[in-house]
Structure 1
Amino acid sequence: MTVEPAVPKEWNRSEGAKRDVLAGGIVVAAILLFVGTGSSVMQSVVRTIAGFGGGTDRVLATMLILNIALILFGWRRYDDLNREIRERTAAEKRARYLADTDPLTGYLNRRALLAQGQALIARAASEHRHVALFLLDLDHFKTVNDIHGHVAGDRVLQIAAERISAILPPSATKARLGGDEFVAMLVFEPAARPDIEALAGQLVTALEEPVPYDARRIRIGCSLGIALATEASATMETLVRQADIAMYHCKDEGRNRYIWFQTGMEMAVQVRNQIENGIREGMPRGEFIPYFEPQVDIASGRLIGFEMLMRWDSPEYGMILPERFIPVAEESGLIGELSLHVIREAMESAKAWDPAVSLAVNISPQQLKDPWFSQKLTKLLVETGFPASQLEVEITESSLFENLPLVRSIVTSLKNQGVSLALDDFGTGYSSLSHLRALPFDRIKIDRSFITAMRGSADAQAIVVAIMRLGESLAMPITAEGVEDEATAIELTRLGCTKGQGWHYGRAMSADDTAAMLAERGLLRAPMLPAGGTEEPLRKTA
């Protein structure tokens, strides 16, 4: 038999009021009775003590004692009522605070912001003033939780809230929408827009500063979108949506900045959402496929490998280059799943290649924030049967800046599996020499921007020469990207570059075209035969 839990009765204000009135009436009656009988009883008591009377009337004495008891009861009830009122008032105030406040930062929550913000807009409009709504999103906050833990993430949020409060005026309405999103609303005179922009710039600068935590310094940053309300008809829902659109525009522009909302941004958000939905729906349908760009030995022209590039073969829009969808995949957190999906397809195709032909794959900076990335890639090698010795993982230099210890752990694990490592886009990141010393790279890839500018820029050529000499001193071979003509190839050969890729050697090809090229050059593995069997030649059928 199921026993229903006891549900406490709700406080009935009318019943409580009736009891309070009844108690009050009793006390008033007791006081009147005391006034009426008390004087007579007290006179009798005094006469008896003085020896002039025969004693007090017992009935009157009893009534007096009863009156005193009732008065004491009333006083106690009055005191209890006052205490109950104080406790109830404090409890209601605490409940309102909890209902309206984010417990981690002390800011308003979303519900309270929408209510108070709408009243703020109406009041500002009546005074012919404007309202600016800041929507601030911490950059890479998910990585903080993934790498340092949720306790560290909470501390980062608290520090961010403290920095926001230190910069904004006390009159600003501040709220945390949830996660790592903060909102601030400021009322200002129409001519004071530069002051609003100055505050936004100060917020971006303040949140760029690393957050100290447990002997570490956690780097964040922020993207800040600003929406403007000039009339009472503006709604909080519209303002928050517009500021959110501007904030995502900041992220597309490179983060660590602020941007005012503009009408044209809505179309960009719609396009972004279409791309994100297309990625989610296209992966299981096999729309994302690998293409392969040849890599050759510059001196001999011999084909020695391919770099895998991603393509989106959309049934609606046709072949889409990675520049269109990779940034959206990174921003939406889909890049890890998408990259491994296409790498699997590339390995399935490449396991038919000659062992002398390598496969190079690019790894997104977001994937290097995943502590399990090495295990995921190793799992792909095992499941596809692709030799680890034929795989080269390319890591961009800029992705090493945030968490070098984690990257070191990942690349060391890959090296232990036999995978080769290349430092991609060398010269465009930070602390290049320290990275080459700290991580076990096998190869350096010069960014194509230096190669394409080499013939017309003495500075670019000097950088290429310096990288070549650095590679020689570290015994690391050099790959040049963006080789587009014979003259550049000849110059790179003279400088000692061993490996090149670019339009001069061929554009990226589909898996079928790549297999056809390798077959022409005799660079496909011989087909495997059943044990004890022989390969039967294909016969032409009628």
Structure 2
Amino acid sequence: MSLRTFKTVIAIVIGGFLIAGIYITVLVVQRQGALQQISAYYPAWEAGQAASEFIRLEHRLAEFHHPESGVDKDEIDLRFDILYARAKTLNEGRFQDLLDRDPEHSATLREFQDALREVQPLIAAIDSDPTAARKALDILRPHEGKLAQLASAAHNHGAALVQKDQQELVRLHWVFSGIAVVLIVIGLALIFLLDRHNRLLGRAHQELHVLAHQDALTGLPNRVVLRDQLDQALASLRPRGPTVAVSYLDLDLDHFKDVNDSFGHETGDELLKAVADRLRDCISEQEGQVRNLISRFGGDEFAILQTGIQRPEQSAALASRIVEALRAPFSIDGQELFIGTSIGIALAQANVTSSQILKHADMALYYAKADGRGTFRFFEQAMDEQLQARRALEVDLRKAVTNGEFELFYQPQINLRDDEIAGFETLLRWHHPERGIISPSEFIPVAEDTGLLSSLGEWIIEQACREAATWPRDMHVAVNLSPVQFRSRGLVQTVSRALALSGLAPQRLELEITESVLLQDNEMTVSTLHQLRRLGVRIAMDDFGTGYSSLSYLRSFPFDKIKIDQSFVREMSQRADCLAIVQSVASLGASLGMPTVAEGIETEEQLRQIEAAGCTDAQGYYFGRPRPARELVYTLAALKNGVKVA
């Protein structure tokens, strides 16, 4: 029964009590009225008294002339006055009902009263007129029978009324008794309902307690419970006790979002349940003096509180066991799913709060993910310092976008066959007002994490096209696209708008992508590449050879250029395998009709080696460092003179 239904039933019962109470009050009033009618009913008695007084008066009149009777005029007057008063009252009050029912009775009473009025003068002269008594008797005697009949009728009428009132009293008695029984039953029902209500409230309170302290999906304790237990554990630590007694492990599932996106949230929920079961299996609630509390914080985040540990190695062993347990495949609805977990561990230190413990574990988790996921890291104080520096960098980065602190630098790409500058690769530089120039390797990851890279990438493309439009018409500009930029659905529109605004010929724009871009979503990636190709821009594969499927990507999309990663170029002189790779890539490019660019040329020897290997283009500090657009030169001779002067 729902609470709303229960309240409705209670309202109906209470309403029934009110109605029954009102009706009982009405019945009591009716019963009192009936009793009053019975107690106050006297018409039959009045008629009987009138008949008795009539007979007494006749007897006194008959005995008046007998000296031995002792009847005198005063007694005659008294009897007459009483009879006259009785006759008068019969015309009033309740006796009138009987007279109204039968006109004959009314006529009888009227004739009797007329006779009394006729006799009244005779009674007054009874002492002076010896015949007065006889005359009075003669007048009254004809009415004796009629008056007796009237008294009898009044008696019968009164008996009928009494019987009717008694029947009404009996009916009221049974109705009252029935209502009393109903009220008793309703009272019992109300007691039952109140008892059930109390049990429902108790159950609801229990369910609320469970909801407030337990994760509904996995049945594990939730954040509230773990936070409370953590506070208690920290409060129980002695100021000068062991430095390690409480350990907090923050778990975040790796690639869980991919499962949700690929198989749906229902499969994701089932996977979370399976993860919770596996955690229960590999983590006992108590291991010696060590107690473990597993909790789910929400989403794909779990946490474990260890109390009573003596060494950090105990937490490390538990974390290692969890990583191995969650690395094994999960079978969900016939699908074999692979995930993993990254774990951040924070140990309780002196005077540390629960909020600080959670914060430290979260920092350690961040670094565990940065280490490649599927591992664990302990919190170190340097992490906090690095995180504060990162946050400060993020704040400055947001200001830099609006303050115009970014500038594009360009590094020349040399066509080895023509021995001239073929174009320039775009490189981003940040002129920090306090720290000077900050390397892209430092701020680009922050821009990716904060979502600033998309807007920054749009600015880079538009600015590069605008500046390249002022160069000689045969030179191209190369712009690197990050995976974040490539995931943006507005990339094609951004490139098209930049070309339109700058007036740069599409074939002079070269977009460089790495294999990490191609690993994301093959169908969508290839579709985007073809849309860019239809705009007329050129596509180059950057850092070729560092991934796993470089050759397969060359087959799936016809790139315009291959750029050999500088790691191979740098070690060509020391490692024969690097030289062989460079030669193979150059040969592959030649067979596919694609130019090959060797990056990272810093010495003349490296230049001779890549030329011998068959590379068509080169780029590196040997030819010149990146410069802003205002300092660029467009011929190799001017570039070499500038290098010598520098």
Partners of 1:216 and 1:364 lie apart in 2 by 32
Choose from 348, 354, 359 the match for 1:229: 348
Q: Which residue of 2 aligns with 1:184?
A: 303
1:324 positional shift = 1.4
Letter in 1 for 2:400: G
**Letter of the 1:201 counterpart:** S
Letter in 2 for 1:486: E
Tell me what 2:28 maps to. Answer: none
Q: CA deviation at 1:91?
A: 2.2
- Counterparts of residues 25-174 of structure 1 (less than 5 Å): 68-100=181-213, 110-122=223-235, 130-138=245-253, 148=261, 152=264, 155-156=267-268, 159-160=271-272, 162-168=274-280, 169=283, 171=285, 172-174=292-294
Answer yes or no: is 1:431 the counterpart of 2:549: yes
Q: 8 Å contact 1:104–1:154 — kept in the other structure?
A: no
- Return the offset for 1:238: 0.8
Does residue 400 in structure 1 map to residue 544 in structure 2? Answer: no
Residue 371 in 1 paired to residue 489 in 2? Answer: yes
Give yes or no for the alignment of 1:247 onto 2:360. Answer: no
C-alpha distance in 1, partners of 2:489/2:335? 18
**Alpha-carbon distance in structure 2 between the residues aligned to 1:155 and 1:341:** 40
The normalised TM-score by structure 2 is 0.64
Once the two structures are overlaid, the 10-residue window that deviates more, 73-82 or 371-380, is 371-380
CA distance in 2, matches of 1:482, 1:434: 25
Give the distance between the partners of 1:261 and 1:357, measured in 2 at CA: 51
The 5 A counterparts of 1:293-304 are 293-304=411-422
Contact kept, 8 Å, 1:275 with 1:325, in 2: the verdict is yes
Counterpart amino acid of residue 227 in structure 1: A
Of 65-74 and 332-341, deviating more is 65-74
- Superposed, 1:481-520 pairs within 5 Å as 481-514=599-632, 516-517=633-634
For residues 220-252 of structure 1, what are the alpha-carbon distances to aligned partners after superposition, in whole Å with 9 as ceiling and x for unaligned? 655431111266x54220111111121222344
For the residues of structure 1 that align with 2:325 and 2:629, how far apart are their CA atoms? Answer: 49
Give the aligned residue type for 1:243: A
Structure 1 pair 470–340 and aligned structure 2 pair: CA distance change class (3 A): same
Structure 1 pair 337/100, CA: closer, same or farther in 2 (3 Å)? farther
Q: Which moved more, 1:67-76 or 1:416-425?
A: 67-76
Query: Is the 8 Å Cα contact of residues 299 and 493 (structure 1) preserved in structure 2?
Result: no
Contact 1:363 1:395 in 2 (8 A): yes
Work out the CA distance in 2 between the residues paired with 1:124 and 1:157. 37
Residue in 2 aligned with 1:26?
Answer: none
Q: For residues 213 and 183 of structure 1, do their structure 2 counterparts lie closer, same or farther at Cα, with a shift above 3 Å needed?
A: closer
Q: Does the 8 Å CA contact 2:466/2:502 hold for their aligned counterparts?
A: yes
Give the drift of 1:298. Answer: 2.0
Residue 99 to residue 263, structure 1, CA distance change in 2 (3 Å) = same
Residue 354 of structure 1: CA displacement? 2.1
Q: In the aligned structure 1, how far is the partner of 2:331 from the partner of 2:478? A: 38
- Measure, in 2, the Cα distance between the counterparts of 1:276 and 1:431: 34
Aligned residue for 2:404, secondary structure, equals: coil
Match for 2:320: what amino acid?
Answer: G
Residues 468/206 of structure 1: CA separation in 2 closer, same or farther (3 Å cut)? farther
Quick one: which of 310, 317, 320 aligns to 1:201? 320
Q: CA deviation at 1:79?
A: 1.4
Q: Indicate the structure with greater helix content.
A: 2
Root mean square deviation of aligned Cα: 3.9
Corresponding residue of 1:525:
none
Q: By how many angstroms is 1:88 displaced?
A: 1.5
Deviation string 1:4-60 (CA, Å, 9 cap, x unpaired) is xxxx9xx9xxxx9xx9xx99xxxxxxxxxxxxxxxxxxxxxxxxxxxxxxxxx9799
Do the aligned residues in 2 keep the contact of 1:160 with 1:207 (CA within 8 Å)? no
Alpha-carbon distance change, 408 to 141 in structure 1, aligned in 2, over 3 angstroms: farther
With 496-505 and 466-475 compared, the bigger mean Cα shift is at 466-475
Give the Cα–Cα distance (whole angstroms) in 1 for the partners of residues 332 and 453 of structure 2: 29
Pair member with larger Rg: 2
- In structure 1, runs of 5+ residues without a counterpart are 1-7, 24-56, 523-542
CA 1:478/1:202 → structure 2, altered by over 3 Å: closer, same or farther? farther
Pairwise CA distance, 1:507: 0.8
C-alpha distance after superposition, 1:179-214 (max 9, x if no partner): 55x141232543464453244335445666788999
Is residue 460 of structure 2 the alignment partner of residue 342 of structure 1?
yes
Output the CA distance in 2 between the equivalents of 1:218 and 1:386: 48
Distance (whole Å) between structure 2 residues aligned to residue 310 and residue 213 of structure 1: 46
Q: CA deviation at 1:448?
A: 0.4
1:200 counterpart letter in structure 2:
A
Check conservation: 1:143, 1:369, Cα contact below 8 A: no
AA aligned opposite 1:500: A
The answer to whether the 8 Å contact 1:444/1:478 transfers is yes
- How far did 1:355 drift? 2.6
The answer for unaligned runs of 5 or more in structure 2 is 19-168, 286-291, 640-646
Aligned residues: 467
Equivalent position SS for 1:227: strand
Of structures 1 and 2, the one with the larger relative CO (CA 8 A, separation 6+) is 1
Given residue 320 of structure 1, which amino acid in structure 2 is its aligned partner? I
Q: 1:160 to 1:93 in 2, by over 3 A?
A: same
Q: CA deviation digits over 1:411-433, x for unaligned, max 9? A: 12111111211111111111222
Instruction: Please give the alpha-carbon distance, in whole angstroms, between the structure 2 residues aligned to 1:506 and 1:217.
Output: 53
Amino acid at match of 2:437: M
Tell me how far apart the structure 1 counterparts of residues 530 and 488 of structure 2 sit (CA, whole Å). 14
Partner-residue secondary structure (3-state), 2:306: strand
| CA–CA distance in structure 1, aligned partners of residues 459 and 220 of structure 2 | 42
CA drift at 1:377: 2.9
CA offsets per residue over residues 119-159 of structure 1, 9 Å max, x none?
354468799883322223456777888xx48x846754662
Structure-2 separation of matches of 1:316 and 1:386: 35
Whole-Å separation in 2 of the counterparts to 1:215 and 1:389: 50
SS at match of 1:497: coil
* Worse overlay, 200-209 or 493-502: 200-209
Contact 1:398 1:428 in 2 (8 A): no
Q: Tell me if the contact between 1:139 and 1:223 (Cα under 8 Å) persists in the aligned partners.
A: yes
> Deviation at 1:68?
4.8
Is 1:478 matched up with 2:596? yes
Q: Distance in 2 between matches of 1:242 and 1:397?
A: 35
Contact 1:401 1:430 in 2 (8 A): no
Q: Which moved more, 1:374-383 or 1:295-304?
A: 374-383
Query: Residues 226 and 305 of structure 2 are in contact (CA less than 8 Å); yes or no, is this contact kept in structure 1?
Result: no
Q: Residue 464 and residue 304 in structure 1: after superposition, are their counterparts in 2 closer, same or farther (change >3 A)?
A: same
Stretch moving more, 344-353 or 278-287: 344-353
